[in-house]
């Protein structure tokens, strides 16, 4: 297992390094003169040079790259050209919305998908099993924003139970913040749950047809025991992979739900800064997201090692 961990960690660091070069080259190299872009097309050459000097943009690319990477490791993600705010502060305040949104949405999705997928895999001939399959198809077809709008119409406008949008800070009004997140989390969870249900269903179907489940039954396990003790344990492997991919997709991919519910989350921040040509902000935030995604992949790989001895003990 130690060798496995070391190998996965080394791969993680290597991948982060490669990604940082790719991002730097894409944003700086392909983006043209950064100072000119920031100042707009009416700027004078003198002004452009002054700005370039001020931010060190006139130095060689290699120097700038290592400067940037070095600062990231020190927790300094740079500053916004326009507002001079520290990117770190911007990101942290946005993450205080995005992380609870994503994590709770995913948990809700799993909470729906694991029982629903398992049930429909084992009871496809019963009405409820068929209904689950149909609902999951519908859930996959429904765009998340539409689910969000419908939910906010019902619970926000018609019943008035929850806010239809907006955000108050955690520190200012904790329960207000919670209430603002409920509908986004439910919309995200329902849609995620629908697609995860299909993965769980097919994983359970596949596992329950394996010979070793029959062996478990032949040695005295009831259907339910074989499912819980042997089936789900083995089905956890493919499900972990899918969940890992979903987290990765979620962290920067909740822009639609954030827009529908007017939440100042990370995704909307990136979008706004791309539009505003905030090169440093975009570069650093994207880098952060990539590190996060790769970290999740690392966790999934390690989890795989824990779950599956064939992976852990492979030479």
Partner 1 sequence: MTLAPAIEVHDLVVGYDALNAVRGVSFTLPRGGRMGLVGESGSGKSMTALALMGLSPTGWHAAGQVLHDGVDLITETDTSFSKRRGRTISMVFQDPMSSLNPVRRVGDQIADVIHRHSKVSRREAMKQALDLMVQMNMPRPEQLARSYPHQISGGQKQRIMIAMALACYPQLIIADEPTTALDVTVQKQVLRLLNAAARDRNTALLMITHDLPVIAAMCDTVAVMYAGRIVEHGPVQEVFRSPRHHYTRGLLDSQPTMDNIALDGSSRLGSIPGMVPPLHNLPTGCAFHPRCAAASEKCRAEMPELGANGAACWHPVKEKAE
Using CB under 8 A, which residues numbered 42 to 71 contact partner 1?
none
Closest CA to 249 of 307, 184, 188, 198: 188
Query: Can you give the C-alpha Rg of the chain in angstroms?
Result: 24
Query: Interface with partner 1 by CB under 8 A: which range of 152-160, 209-217, 260-268, 278-286?
Result: 209-217
Cβ at position 307, least distance to partner 1 in Å: 7
Query: Interface with partner 1 by CB under 8 A: which range of 67-75, 110-118, 173-181, 304-312?
Result: 304-312
Query: Interface with partner 1 by CB under 8 A: which range of 77-85, 157-165, 220-228, 257-265?
Result: 220-228
Query: Interface with partner 1 by CB under 8 A: which range of 29-37, 53-61, 73-81, 219-227?
Result: 219-227
Distance between CA atoms of residues 99 and 266, nearest Å = 9
54 versus 209: smaller Cβ distance to partner 1: 209
84 versus 219: smaller Cβ distance to partner 1: 219
Using CB under 8 A, which residues numbered 128 to 167 contact partner 1?
none
Number of residues that bind partner 1 (CB under 8 A): 23
Binding to partner 1 by residue 223, rule CB under 8 A? yes
Query: Interface with partner 1 by CB under 8 A: which range of 79-87, 90-98, 106-114, 204-212?
Result: 204-212
Options 58, 85, 225, 249; binder of partner 1; rule CB under 8 A? 225
Distance, C-alpha 202 to centroid of its chain: 23
3-state secondary structure of 85: coil
Binding to partner 1 by residue 310, rule CB under 8 A? yes
Binding to partner 1 by residue 183, rule CB under 8 A? no
| Contact indicator for 203, 239 with CB cutoff of 8 Å | yes
CA-CA distances (angstroms) from residue 103 to 21, 187, 265, 282, 291? 29, 13, 13, 23, 17
| Contact indicator for 12, 301 with CB cutoff of 8 Å | no
Find the largest Cα–Cα distance for the chain: 84
Q: Report the DSSP beta bridge partners of residue 79.
A: 86
Task: State both tokens at 162.
Answer: 């929850």
Using CB under 8 A, which residues numbered 111 to 130 contact partner 1?
125
Distance between CA atoms of residues 151 and 35, nearest Å = 45
40 versus 220: smaller Cβ distance to partner 1: 220
H-only helix segments in the chain: 2-24, 34-39, 45-54, 61-73, 87-122, 127-141, 144-151, 174-208, 211-218, 223-225, 232-251, 255-260, 266-275, 279-307, 309-312
Options 5, 23, 69, 221; binder of partner 1; rule CB under 8 A? 221
Total residue count of the chain as it appears in this document: 315
277 versus 312: smaller Cβ distance to partner 1: 312
3-state secondary structure of 123: coil
Whether the CA torsion 149, 155, 159, 164 is positive or negative: it is negative
Query: Interface with partner 1 by CB under 8 A: which range of 7-15, 110-118, 174-182, 210-218?
Result: 210-218
Cβ at position 172, least distance to partner 1 in Å: 48
120 versus 285: smaller Cβ distance to partner 1: 120
Using CB under 8 A, which residues numbered 228 to 267 contact partner 1?
230, 233-234
Cβ at position 212, least distance to partner 1 in Å: 5
29 versus 220: smaller Cβ distance to partner 1: 220
* Interaction site with partner 1 (CB under 8 A): 125, 210-212, 214-223, 225, 230, 233-234, 307-310, 313
């Amino acid at each position: 297992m130690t060798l496995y961990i070391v190998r996965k960690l080394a791969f993680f660091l290597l991948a982060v390094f490669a990604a940082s070069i790719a991002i730097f080259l894409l944003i700086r190299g392909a983006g043209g003169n950064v100072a000119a872009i920031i100042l707009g097309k009416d700027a004078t050459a003198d002004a452009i040079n002054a700005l370039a000097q001020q931010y060190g943009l006139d130095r060689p690319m290699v120097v700038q790259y290592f400067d940037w990477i070095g600062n990231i490791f020190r927790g300094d993600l740079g500053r916004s050209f326009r507002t001079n705010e520290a990117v770190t502060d911007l990101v942290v305040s946005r993450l205080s919305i995005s992380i609870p949104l994503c994590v709770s949405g995913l948990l809700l999705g799993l909470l729906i998908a694991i029982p629903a997928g398992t049930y429909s895999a084992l009871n496809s001939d019963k009405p409820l099993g068929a209904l689950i399959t149909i609902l999951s198809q519908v859930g996959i077809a429904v765009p998340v924003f539409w689910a969000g709008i419908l939910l906010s119409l019902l619970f926000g406008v018609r019943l008035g139970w929850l806010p239809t949008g907006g955000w108050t800070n955690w520190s200012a009004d904790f329960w207000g913040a919670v209430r603002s997140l409920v509908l986004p989390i439910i919309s995200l969870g329902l849609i995620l749950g629908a697609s995860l249900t299909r993965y769980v269903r097919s994983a359970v179907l596949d596992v329950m047809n394996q010979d070793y489940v029959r062996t478990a039954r032949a040695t005295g396990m009831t259907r339910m025991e074989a499912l819980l003790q042997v089936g789900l344990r083995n089905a956890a492997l493919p499900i972990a992979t899918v969940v890992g991919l979903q987290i990765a997709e979620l962290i920067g991919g909740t822009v639609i739900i954030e827009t529908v519910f007017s939440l100042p989350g990370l995704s909307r921040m990136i979008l706004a800064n791309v539009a505003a040509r905030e090169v440093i902000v975009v570069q650093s935030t994207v880098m952060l997201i990539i590190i996060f995604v790769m970290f999740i992949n690392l966790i999934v790989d390690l989890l795989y090692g824990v779950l599956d001895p064939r992976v852990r003990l492979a030479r």
